[in-house]
Structure 1
Amino acid sequence: MSLHSAGSASGSPADGVARGGVPNAQGRPTPHFVVHNKTDTVGVVVVETVHAGDQLSGWVMETDETITVTAQADIPLGHKVAIRPIKTGDTILKYEHDIGRAIEDIGQGGYVHYHNVKTKRW
C-alpha cells in the first residue's frame, strides 16, 4: 500500500460521473474506495466497476491521505476491499467498528465479504 497526502477527494469528470483514478479539479485521483479511519482494515468501493488487477486509489478520510492497492478480485459497488493483508482470526474494522473476524487469510486488495468474514456473535 502506498500512502501520500491527498487533500480533498471531491470532483468528477465533465459528464458528472465519478470514475476512480480520473484526476478531479484539484488534479488528485477520484477514489475507487473510501476508508474512514486509519485503523480500518477495509475500504468501501465507491465506483461501479472494480476488476481483478485494477490499480485502486483510496481516500482515508481521517487523515486526508490517498492509498493505493491492486484489486485481487472483482468487487461490486458498496462492497469491501482489504487495504492491508488480513490473517485468519483477525478482526475486520470498517468505520473503526468491529464487523467480524476473518475465517481465511485475505490478501491486500482482496474482496472482503460473507465468504471470508463471520460475525463474532455466533
Structure 2
Amino acid sequence: MKRLYLLGWAIFLLLAACQQSGFFDFKSGEFQCDNCRMSIVDMRYKAEVRSPKGKLYYFDSIECMNDWSKEHPDQVGTQWVTNYYDPSQWLDAKKALIMVGNNIPSPMGGHLLAVATEEEWRRAQKEFGGKKVAHP
C-alpha cells in the first residue's frame, strides 16, 4: 500500500513538473489563427497566447492576438510575438518593441510588427517609418 501511495505522488509530481510555459514554435501553414481563422503563413507576424492553465492559442498577427485577448481576458496568461527580422525568435509581448505604421504589410491590416532590439527598431523605422506603441 505504501508503494502505491509513493507511486501516486511520484506520478503527480512528474505531471506537475511537465506543465508547459512559454511559447510553442510551429511551421508555416500548421495552424489557423484562433481569431480570424486564416492559415498562419507569414511567420514574421505570428503570435501566441498561453492561458493560465497552459492552453495555447495561435494568431497570424499581433492585431489578431490583441483583439482576441480583449474578448477573452480570462484566457490570457502570457503573450508572445515573433521578431520581424528573425521569426524563429519569440519575444515576451510585454518586453518587445512594437511598431505601428501604414507601410507595414501585416496580415490583417493592423500594420503592427515586433522587434527585440533598438538596432532592429532603427532598421524598421527606416524601412517602414512607423512609431512605437505600448503593448495593450
**TM-score of the pair, normalised by structure 2:** 0.32
Q: RCO (CA 8 Å, sep 6+): is it higher in 1 or 2?
A: 1
**TM-score of the pair, normalised by structure 1:** 0.34
Structure having the higher strand fraction is 1
Structure having the higher helix fraction is 2
